[in-house]
Every structure is written in C-alpha cells, then in structure tokens.
Structure 1
Amino acid sequence: MTQVEAVRPKEPTGSGTRHARLGLAVLLLPVLLVSMDISVLFLAMPTLTLDLDPSAAQQLWILDIYGFLIAGLLITMGNLGDRVGRRNILLAGATVFGIASVLAAFAPSAGVLIVARALMGVGGATLLPSSLSLISGLFPDARERAAAIGVWTAFFAGGSAVGPIIGGLLLHHFWWGAVFLINIPVLLILLAFGPFLLPEQRQGALGPLDLPSVALSIGGILPLVYAIKHAAAEGVDVEGAVILVIGVVLLTLFVRRQRHLAEPLLDLRLFRRAQFSVAIGSSLVGMMSLAALSYLTSVYLQSVTGRDPLQAALLGIPMAAAVFVFSMSGARVAHRVGTRATFAAALLASALGNLMLLGVGVDGGIAWYLVGSTIAGVGYGLAFTLVSDVAVSSVPPERAGSAVGISETSFELGNALGLALLGSLAALVFRSGGDYSPTLGETIQHSGDPAVIESARESFVSGMHVATTVGALLLVAMAAVALVATGKHDRPATASAH
C-alpha cells in the first residue's frame, strides 16, 4: 500500500535473503489456512450432520458465515492494519482464528459451530490483507516482489481446492472436529516466528476508521444473503421480502456514503477502469462457480456414489493440482498472449469444465467429473493469478491499497455467493423432485425406503447439473465482457504495482 513507514528498526531484508524467504514462508501459512477453511468443511458436512443434526438453513450458515464475514470485513481490517500496524493486526487475527478453531472443533451444537465459524471469519479477515501488504517490506526489489506475490496468489487460490482433500484425509482417521484443530500448530508457528521475521508497517497521516461504513457494509450483505437463502428454503414470503429490502437499503446507504468520504472504505472510482472491473468480475464469478462445483461434487461423491471422505478427497486431487500449478504460471501466459485473451480463455475453460459435469450421473460418470474438474481447475488457476495483479496494475499507485482490498473481497464474496445462490438453486431443484427431507443427507438418514433414497439421489444430481450449468453460463458471460470491455486496453499484466 502507499505511504508505508516502518515503525521500528528491522533487519535488512534484501531481495534474496534467507530472512525474506523465511518471512514469505511464514506469511503463506495464514493465506493457506484462510482459503483452505473456506472449503475444508465440504467433505465434513455429511459426518458433521450425523453428529450435530443441523437444519438445512443451519448447514448453509455453517458453510457461509465464515466467507461472508471475511468478505464484509476485509477492507475494514486492511484499513485498520494501516493504522495499528500490519504485523500487529496479523498476529491478533491469528490469535482470534486459533481460539475460534478450538471452539469450532468441540462445538456441541450447530448454533455454537455457526458462532465459531463467524469468529474465524473475523480473524481471517485480518490475515489476508496484512500478509499481502507485508510482502512489499520483505522484498524491496520489484521483480522478486512480483514472484513472491505470485506464490502468495497460488497458495490462496490453491488452498480452496486443497481444503476438501485435507479434510478427507483427516476425516479418514479422526472425527470432523479435526479439520479445525489442524489450524492450531500452523498458527503457533506464525505466532512464534512472526514477530522476528516480519517487519512492522503502518501507513501515516490517516484519519479515524469510518465505523458507520463498516456497520452499513456488514448490515447490508448479511440480510441480502439471508433473504436469498430464505426464498430458496421457504419460498417468497413477506418475511423474506422485508429482509431483502433492509439489505438493499443498507447497501445503498453504504454506496452513497462512500461517494462523499475523503477516505472511503470502498473507493468506487476504481470501477471506472475497465481492466479493474473485469478483474473483479472475473474473481467474483469464478469463485461463485468454483464454490458451487466443489461443494456439490463433494456431496455427490459421498452421498450419491457412496464413497468415504478419503476416496472423495483423492478424486479431488487433479483439480486441486491444476488450480495450484496454473496459478503459478498465469502471469507468464498473460505476458505472452495478453491479459484480455488470457482472462477470456481461462473463464471459458472453467465454463467447459463445469458443463462436462452434465455427464455425471447417479450410476456412473466419474471420468466426466475427473476430466471436467481438471479442465475447470486449469481455467480457475489462470484467472485467479491475474486478478490481484491486474486489479492493482490498472489503477494509479496511490490507489493500490484499495485495489488489493477490493480484489480479495471479491474472492471471498464470490465464494459465499456461490454457496448461497448456486447452492440454494441446487437445493430448490432437489426438493422439487419429491417429498424429501431438506437435504440429501437427511433424506438418506431418515428414510428407510430404498426407492425414495434412489429418487432423492437422482434429484440431487439434477440440482447439481442445473447449478453448475448456471455457473458455466455466468463464466461465459464474464468471458464475453472481458473481450468487449478491455478490447482497446489490452496489455500484459505487471506485478510491480503492489
């Protein structure tokens, strides 16, 4: 971010030193944890459902509340870090994240688990912006800083894909709470070595944090999403309509307030730049479709095909590997063929992978899943590695900090919206197929009729097909926007604007 000043003497961290590399390794730990915890519960939900017996709405909130609070607080925590010190906010957030992880692991009820996931979201919101901002202090050289940011992005994009695999491995040996306890040793390493390896940084001459903007952003996002969930579960009624209106009004007030603040939480002027808007739209739509794909296929592999969590996790390795590998190479591809073409090709590859899931059925089609998810992973990896770079390089240097916060927020909000919108769409199609319990897991657990269970599985697959197809159509539409909106502004991405 701009106007950064160190607040204490620190060891020189030249661009290739062991100190800088160790510092980067420490910064990658929270990035991996935060992104991994977005998806680590996908495979754990069936076994978690047996223990805590959450309702359909509670299941979605267990998955969603984490991502929504991160999305709503990322820009706020980034601004707070500028004021109190980015290392300070990183270590404080890690402490909150660790305490909440223990609470989640031993949650006695679905309500307690939702609260714990919410606290994890608060802690997680401090970790992402501070970790990315601290890289600039560790790597003064622009070229090495660009390489470090590329690694950071790969871990962030790859963590979400790796989450279900790690979850499956843990569930094979332990109970579902282990997917949260795995966070503790990683956070202890961060808390032990962070004070020695990471420089403290804060931005000077900033006014007080605008608390009304913080309240309006959170107060607008959560009612809006709840209204969508409510409509999917209960249908359109007065309660849902009132909550929807409340969310829209609060978000409208938030936007109007940002236009008049000298130091807004969200600088809306950035969206006037075509490449910036395309980058943010690509991450939002990409994460929406990836979240729905990952969650629905995790349920499919276990509740429809009867595989255990470990077997389901192993089948997710090709997509996770594709996301990680191509996250590392996306910038190089953009330098050769151009940002515009790379974005469009990546989004279209992701769409193709989602559409290939139409070949998946109740009694077969695993090969379609493996090939389709891998192709989608290639597209997601290429797209996500460009987002932060393009978002920042397409704005003036003095606005780079705001651009980082917005790009990270789009990732988190896209993940949460994917589960809320596309997940609810799949649930709606599922329930319309017959007189089932609210979820497939509950239907299998409570129904003793094999015919009903088989019919429910077929309805779930139909819902998965509809949701992933809608996700693919959104990706195609975003690819078209990328081609049209940036046609006159195409240039290779640069990663030096951070």
Structure 2
Amino acid sequence: MNEQRVSHRPGLRAWLGLLVILGPVLLVAMDGSVLFLAMPKVTEALSPTADQALWILDVYGFAVGALLISFGSIGDRYGRLKLLMIGAAAFGIGSAGASFAPGPELLIAFRALMGVAGATLLPSVLAVLSELFTDPHRRARAIGIFAATFAAGFALGPVVGGQLLSRFWWGSVFLVNLPVVVLFLVLAPVLLREVRAPRAGHVDAWSVLLSAVGLLLTVYAVKHAATEGLTATSAGAGIAGIVILGWFTRRQGRLRYPLIDFGLFRDRVFTIAIVTGLLPLMAWSAAAYLGGSYLQSVLGLPVLDAALLALPGAAVLTVTCLVTPALVGCIGKRAALLTCHFCVAVGLLLLVPTSVSGGIVWYIASTVVAGLGYGISFSVVADTAVAAVPTERAGSAAALAETSNEIGNALGIALLGSLAALLFRIQGPDIADTLSGTLQIPGLAPEVISDAKTAFVTGLHAAAVVAAILHGTLGFLTLRWMPKTSPVQPMTVRSPWRRTWTRRPECDDGDGFRHVLRRGGGRGTS
C-alpha cells in the first residue's frame, strides 16, 4: 500500500459507510440472543416440543458457525460487497418469514436461513471497512466502533427482545430487522466499494457439507436423547454425526486449502485460546436463555421487567470489551484469560442460590460478575490465537477463533440447555416437555406447579455448575500451559474479529503500530 493511500483522510462518505455497515453487524449479533427472553411467548403461541424449542434457539448459531469460514473464502473470490448484499437480502427474507411462521417447523427453517445469511455478512464487513478507512489511526477508531457495536448487540439482544415483547407480539423481534435491511440494501451500493482478494483459495464444497451435516446430526442426537430419552433414532443420528465429523477431520489434512487447519491445535496456547472462545459463549447463551425463562416462568415477572434486569450485565460486558485491550497491556494475556475464567465461573455459581421463591439479586450479581469474563474473552481470544501461530497461518487462526464464538453460542443451548431439559423431564411432573408448556395447562394443582418450577430450577443449577467446572478446568490449564511472558515478542492489541494492531520496533506509521489485516488463508499489511 503506498504512502498516499495510508495518509488519506476519510470524509463524510466513509463515516456514513461505517454507519451503514453497523446496521447488519448489530442485527447479526442481536439475533444470536434476541430469543432468550422471547421463548416463553413463542412457546405459548406455537407450542413447540422441548427439542423444537432448543432448535429454534440455536439453529441460527449453528448455521453461522458452520458456514462462517466458507463464506469468507467465497467473498474473497467473488466480491465481498456482492456477498454482503445477497446476505442482507436473505437475512431480510428470513426475518419476515420467522415473524409470521405459523408453526415451530417453519420458524426453525427461517431461523436457519437467517443463520446462513449471517454467515455471509460477518467475514466481509471488516474487509469493506478497510477500504473506507485507509488512514491507520481513523481505521483503528472505526474498527473499535465496529467491535463495540457487535459486543453491545450480542449483550443487548435479550433486552431489546424484552422491550418489543412488552408492546407487540413475539414476531416483532424478527420484523424489526426489516427497516435496517432495506436501508442497507439502498445505501450500500452508493457508499461502499467492492473488495476482492487478489489470490483467493479454493472452497471445498464437501468440507462445508460434511461439517454442517455432522454437527447438526450430533446435536440432534444430544437434544433428542435429553428430551425423549435414548432411542434408536437418537443413537443412530449420534453415531452418524460422529462418523461424518471424523471424515471431515481426515479430509482437512489432505486439502491444500482446508476449511479448518487442525494442525494449529498442536500448540497448547492456541488450543487454550480457541476453547476460551467456545466455553464463555456456551455459558453465556445457556445462562441467558435459562435465566430469562427463570425470571418469567418461575418468578412470574413481566417480560419488560426481565429485560431491565438483564441491563446491568449487558452494560458490564460491553464496557469490558472496550477496556480489555488496555487491561491486557497492563497485566498480560495470561492474567487476563485467568481473570476471564475466574469471573465466569464465579458468576455462574452465583446462580446456585436462586430458588422458586426468589433470586433476583443473585441473578443480577451473576450477570455482572460473569459479564466481566465474557467481555474479556470477546476481546482477547482471537489475538491470543493469532499470536500463538506462525505468521503465514494467522488467517486460519483468526477464522477458527471467530468460528469458535459462534459455535459456542449454539452449543450452550444445545448441550447445557439439553442438560436442563433432561433434568426437567426426570424430576418434573411429566405433563409437558417444558416448564412453559406445563404452566399453560389449566387447572393444575399448586403442588404440581411447584414441582415443575423446582425441576426447572434444578436444571438451571446443574447447567450453571457444569459450565463453572469447565471454566475452572480451563483456568487451571491456562495456568499450567500458558507462559507468563508470551513467546511472541510483539504486543498485540485487538478488538474482536479480524483487524489487529501489532507494536513492533521497526514500525514507521508514526504511532508505533503496524496495522495487519489477517484473513482466512493469508496476510496482508496495510
């Protein structure tokens, strides 16, 4: 990149382009969590089974996570702006269909379409953003705004959903996406430029298919076994899913352009980083979903009150995302990751004192303390992963870090949500698959209602304890495996997703930072 390009000052068009980009980013982040408070209303309207309710919640995250890397490569080859436009249009269609879905099956299908569309949006946004802001200082500021928007959207999704549901029907949480999508489709061709990679790798269609099918079959088996018991169907799906995922793993080792470079996991620090991207999102999504149901279905709070109670945790998470780069500069990545796991574990354990009769204070304390850990993980995971691998493999490391976040979000509902559903099925009154479904049955005796609520709270506690134990274990491994001083000499300060800034003595941009764009499969400096 020449000097004239680096020193170019962005005008009004660039900042307007940033605002246009932030719309889809906010929607993709929010739609990963907007249903957490809305599920009691959805259950009341559509009467899904327990496993259908779980699919409604997490098929979106699985679609995003399974296709994120693939669509990054497709955008490199055919144009990222073009992919953004197609993805935004598909996201709008999926949102409109989900808003008016007459049954759980169609709602699941439209949520899957929204997830596929979301996977087209995220990999291309930062590449388009880099074309708007060629000056390193202003580009850093713009990317910081982007990162804060994504974190805020993810944290505020349940709050926005609660606000909408207090005034409108459940489909409004999807219908609200349409004005943003229409505005993007109108303004994006005017304000944004097309971006292509000069050398894009081949996208292996078989790898995309194997990863998606294997993951979905495995998760289906877990959910079906939790809600219906172990049957031939769930066992067969589980075995088939594991075999397909094994096939996928072996295939990656033979490809020149693998979808996932599993060789990176030989590095312990990289493995810690990827698992740290996975576990906090698992814990956060499960706790947000089960906590929202607890506030509404167990304590009987209106949806608006439940949404307001989620605000402190959302605020802490967002602020932590913004201050974490400075924190890492003071205490180092190792201490930051230890703080992350400790805060999440303690925050989850604060859910254990909740009961059928009360627990609002414990819920707020849990979201605030755990929010510190979630915010740290959002900010440092990808940078830790990238710093642990050779420079030529930085793109693959960054892509895996991003994918771990999306898969973790979905797995939280799939695994921890299934654990809660299993305990409800075992200990509950055996009238309906879910607590919301049970409470809708008229004429229930007070003791039956109490038993149902107690069974749900038991499932909430079990999910929280299991997630806390996993975080404690990962914290111990971080303490053992991660060196006190990073083996990589440069200190990197990073906002979430793909743009990083690396401090090196030989930098010459005037602020001591060399700006590095790491993408799936390659590396370019700007």
Above 0.5 in TM-score? Answer: yes
Asked if the contact 2:10–2:132 (Cα under 8 Å) also holds between the matched residues in 1, the reply is: no
Q: Is 1:457 matched up with 2:453?
A: yes
Asked if the contact 1:150–1:385 (Cα under 8 Å) also holds between the matched residues in 2, the reply is: no
Q: 383-392 vs 443-452, which deviates more?
A: 383-392
Asked if the contact 1:57–1:229 (Cα under 8 Å) also holds between the matched residues in 2, the reply is: yes
Q: 2:437 aligns with which of 428, 437, 442?
A: 442
Superposition pairs of residues 33-432 of structure 1, within 5 angstroms: 33-432=27-426
Structure 1 residue 397: Cα displacement: 4.3
Structure 1 residue 378: Cα displacement: 1.4
C-alpha separation in 2, matches of 1:478 and 1:144: 37
Structure 1 residue 489: Cα displacement: 5.1
C-alpha separation in 2, matches of 1:296 and 1:416: 14
Relative distance call for 1:399 and 1:86 in structure 2 (3 A) is farther
Q: Is 1:466 matched up with 2:465?
A: no
Structure 1 residue 91: Cα displacement: 1.2
C-alpha separation in 1, matches of 2:88 and 2:217: 28
Amino acid at match of 2:434: T
SS at match of 1:54: coil
Structure 1 residue 212: Cα displacement: 0.9
Asked if the contact 2:50–2:421 (Cα under 8 Å) also holds between the matched residues in 1, the reply is: no
Structure 1 residue 173: Cα displacement: 0.8
Amino acid at match of 2:307: A
Q: 1:478 aligns with which of 474, 477, 498?
A: 474
Amino acid at match of 1:220: G
SS at match of 2:472: helix
Residue 8 of structure 1 is matched in structure 2 by none
Amino acid at match of 1:484: R
Asked if the contact 2:274–2:381 (Cα under 8 Å) also holds between the matched residues in 1, the reply is: yes
C-alpha separation in 2, matches of 1:383 and 1:206: 30
Relative distance call for 1:452 and 1:14 in structure 2 (3 A) is farther
Amino acid at match of 1:62: I
Asked if the contact 1:258–1:264 (Cα under 8 Å) also holds between the matched residues in 2, the reply is: yes
SS at match of 1:431: helix
SS at match of 2:253: helix
Structure 1 residue 243: Cα displacement: 1.1
Asked if the contact 2:345–2:467 (Cα under 8 Å) also holds between the matched residues in 1, the reply is: yes
Asked if the contact 1:72–1:409 (Cα under 8 Å) also holds between the matched residues in 2, the reply is: yes
In the comparison of the two structures, how many residue pairs are matched? 489
Relative distance call for 1:130 and 1:40 in structure 2 (3 A) is same
Asked if the contact 1:275–1:489 (Cα under 8 Å) also holds between the matched residues in 2, the reply is: no
C-alpha separation in 2, matches of 1:200 and 1:133: 10
Amino acid at match of 1:210: D
Amino acid at match of 1:405: A
Structure 1 residue 401: Cα displacement: 3.2
> For each residue in 1:321-359, what CA deviation from the matched residue of structure 2 results, as whole angstroms up to 9, or x when unmatched?
011111111111001110111011012111111111112
SS at match of 1:243: helix
C-alpha separation in 1, matches of 2:64 and 2:7: 30
Amino acid at match of 2:164: L
Structure 1 residue 221: Cα displacement: 0.5
Q: 195-204 vs 74-83, which deviates more?
A: 195-204
Residue 492 of structure 2 is matched in structure 1 by 493
Normalising to structure 1: TM-score of the pair?
0.94
Structure 1 residue 66: Cα displacement: 0.9
> For each residue in 1:19-64, what CA deviation from the matched residue of structure 2 results, as whole angstroms up to 9, or x when unmatched?
3333332222222111111111111111111211111121111112
Q: 12-21 vs 264-273, which deviates more?
A: 12-21
> For each residue in 1:349-394, what CA deviation from the matched residue of structure 2 results, as whole angstroms up to 9, or x when unmatched?
1111111111211112211111121111111111211123333344
Asked if the contact 2:10–2:134 (Cα under 8 Å) also holds between the matched residues in 1, the reply is: no
C-alpha separation in 2, matches of 1:388 and 1:148: 19
Normalising to structure 2: TM-score of the pair?
0.89
C-alpha separation in 1, matches of 2:182 and 2:386: 32
> For each residue in 1:155-205, what CA deviation from the matched residue of structure 2 results, as whole angstroms up to 9, or x when unmatched?
223322211100010001110010001111111222222223223211123
C-alpha separation in 1, matches of 2:201 and 2:337: 37
Amino acid at match of 2:492: A
C-alpha separation in 2, matches of 1:442 and 1:493: 49
Asked if the contact 1:444–1:453 (Cα under 8 Å) also holds between the matched residues in 2, the reply is: yes
Structure 1 residue 267: Cα displacement: 1.9
Amino acid at match of 1:231: A
C-alpha separation in 2, matches of 1:262 and 1:481: 32
C-alpha separation in 1, matches of 2:303 and 2:467: 25
Asked if the contact 1:101–1:181 (Cα under 8 Å) also holds between the matched residues in 2, the reply is: yes
C-alpha separation in 1, matches of 2:302 and 2:262: 46
> For each residue in 1:229-262, what CA deviation from the matched residue of structure 2 results, as whole angstroms up to 9, or x when unmatched?
1111122232222211111111111111111111
Structure 1 residue 396: Cα displacement: 4.0
SS at match of 2:196: strand
Identity of aligned residues (%): 47
C-alpha separation in 1, matches of 2:260 and 2:201: 15
SS at match of 2:8: coil
C-alpha separation in 2, matches of 1:375 and 1:145: 32
SS at match of 2:48: coil
Residue 496 of structure 2 is matched in structure 1 by none
Asked if the contact 1:13–1:139 (Cα under 8 Å) also holds between the matched residues in 2, the reply is: no
RMSD: 2.0
Asked if the contact 1:327–1:381 (Cα under 8 Å) also holds between the matched residues in 2, the reply is: yes
Amino acid at match of 1:229: K
Residue 18 of structure 2 is matched in structure 1 by 24
* Structure 1 segments unaligned to the other structure (5+ residues): 6-10
Structure 1 residue 17: Cα displacement: 4.0
* Structure 2 segments unaligned to the other structure (5+ residues): 494-499, 502-515, 518-526
Amino acid at match of 2:408: G
> For each residue in 1:304-332, what CA deviation from the matched residue of structure 2 results, as whole angstroms up to 9, or x when unmatched?
01111111000000011011111111111
C-alpha separation in 2, matches of 1:482 and 1:160: 26
Amino acid at match of 2:482: T
C-alpha separation in 1, matches of 2:11 and 2:273: 32
C-alpha separation in 1, matches of 2:8 and 2:290: 45
Greater fraction of residues in helix:
1
